[in-house]
Amino acid sequence: MKPGGARATRTAPVRVWPAGVSAVVEVLEREAGRSGELVLRRSGAALEVILNGAFLISTANEVSSRAMVTAALPHLAGDALEVLIGGLGLGYALDEALAGGRVSGVTVAEYEPAIVRWFRAYGEGRAERAAAGERAGQATIAVADVVDVLKARPEGFDLVALDTDNGPDWLVREANAGLYSEAGVQLACRALRPGGAVVFWSPERYTGFERSLAGVFARVERVSAFDVVQGRRHEYTMYVGLRDDARREDRIGAEAEGGRMGLTWTEPGEIAWALIDAHPDADPLDLNFVDLQRMIVALPDFGDDPDEASETRLEAVVVAWHEQR
Ligand SMILES: C[S@@+](CC[C@H](N)C(=O)[O-])C[C@H]1O[C@@H](n2cnc3c(N)ncnc32)[C@H](O)[C@@H]1O
């Protein structure tokens, strides 16, 4: 459940009710689902899905839901990517996968038939784009447990984006506990093609879960994403597990040739240190993203694609810079 229609902060059950929930709440649909009572409702401008009284997803979670895909894309090579998303929710991750131009096939496994129906009826532009993707054979929305799809398609995907729950510590469906166990993480990893990545949406950092990821993947990255709910910013963590460590291999290769890999967008902390050295008097909170991007790209050690900057990445640099000053 995302907090306040926001995947929440972790001061309350993960996706918590937003402070000052709008009094104007319109229940659009209510249904006995496979996991319990599902409610679709409009709260102010937000569309929210509630499962057994807990926030499952809200339109306020758009940024972190899209980050399930954007956090991984820089790590993936090629323009014919196969993507698996579990589950559909309000369809933001699906929309993001279809938007990038690098995905040739996206499968969404959604456990609740009502969520699929509601997406088609209330998903507006996202639902239209998804339907176009289905007609073109690029997108498939299946009513299925994502665990079954992972089992059925070993080495089937370049990206597996898992957002079934409010993180490893707060399950919407108890039956999903296995997905976050070491066996579940291994199952997800086995569904990857060489060079592939798994992304887990998480409301915060979990040491035990990080240990499981580190034990299975060649490399694990944390990417922050921020949803703004009723004026309050909530930070979420996208755990990106890479089946192979291409960067390490590139670095070893470059170093063997006497070269040196530069800073990449996946190293906000390192970028922040370099910015502090280069601009000791600058305050990151005073900068707009255009200027910040210009400063990063101008760093002598910067070695990534300037066009791969995103709001999420620039925000991660701002946070690191602010904390490290
Ligand atoms: C937080 S929402 C996903 C939001 C989605 N990332 C988006 O972009 O809108 C979680 C979804 O996962 C579904 N779900 C939960 N357990 C599942 C499972 N084992 N397999 C497939 N879908 C599942 C829920 O019904 C719900 O629709």
227-273 per-position pLDDT tens digit = 988 788 999 999 999 999 765 555 556 656 655 567 888 888 888 88
Please give the structure tokens belonging to residue 74: 């820089």
124 and 179, same domain (yes or no): yes
Would the CB of 64 count as within 6 Å of ligand 1? no
- Which residue is closest in CA terms to ligand 1's atom 26? 89
Residues 234 and 313 in one domain: no
* 239 in the same domain as 285: no
Residue 65 lies in a domain: yes
Is 152 contained in some domain? yes
Atom of ligand 1 nearest to the CA of 172: 15
Residue 75 is assigned to a structural domain of this protein: yes
CA–centroid distance, residue 290 to ligand 1 (Å): 34
Query: Same structural domain for residues 234 and 290?
Result: no
Domain count, the chain: 2
How many A from CA of 209 to the centre of ligand 1? 19
Predicted local confidence at residue 252, as pLDDT: 53
Contact 58, 30 (CB under 8 A): no
- CATH number of the domain within which 84 lies: 3.40.50.150
Tokens 């369809």 -> residue: 91
Question: Is the CB–ligand 1 distance for residue 198 below 6 Å?
Answer: no
Q: Which of 194, 211, 245 is the last residue of a domain?
A: 245
Which residue range is the domain that position 314 belongs to? 262-324
Predicted pLDDT of residue 121: 98
Of 51, 316, 244, 288, residue with least CA distance to 164: 51
**Residue 303 within a domain:** yes
Q: In whole angstroms, what is the distance from residue 325 CA to residue 315 CA?
A: 15
> Is residue 55 in a domain?
no
Domain shared by 95 and 186, yes or no: yes
**290: which residues sit within 8 A by CB, 6+ positions away?**
none
**Same-domain status, 116 and 207:** yes
CA 74 – CA 159 distance, rounded (Å) = 11
Check whether residue 270 and residue 234 sit in a common domain.
no
Q: 237 and 110 share a domain?
A: yes
91 CB under 6 A from ligand 1?
A: yes
Which pLDDT score, from 0 to 100, does residue 258 have?
59
Confirm whether 293 is domain-assigned: yes
Does residue 25 fall inside a structural domain? Answer: no
Residue 187's nearest CA partner among 149, 222, 232, 218 is: 149
Q: What is the pLDDT of residue 301?
A: 83
Name residues of the chain where pLDDT drops below 70.
1-23, 246-261
- The rounded Å distance from CA 115 to ligand 1 centre is 9
Residue 256, pLDDT score: 60
Q: What is the pLDDT of residue 8?
A: 41
Q: What is the pLDDT of residue 1?
A: 47
Q: Same domain, yes or no, for 130 and 210?
A: yes
| Residue 319's CATH number | 1.10.10.600
pLDDT at residue number 248: 53
Answer whether residue 4 is part of any domain: no
Ligand 1 near 227 CB (within 6 A): no
Q: Check if 43 has its Cβ closer than 6 Å to any atom of ligand 1.
A: no
Q: Are residues 194 and 160 in the same domain?
A: yes
Domain boundary (218, 245, 272) is at 245
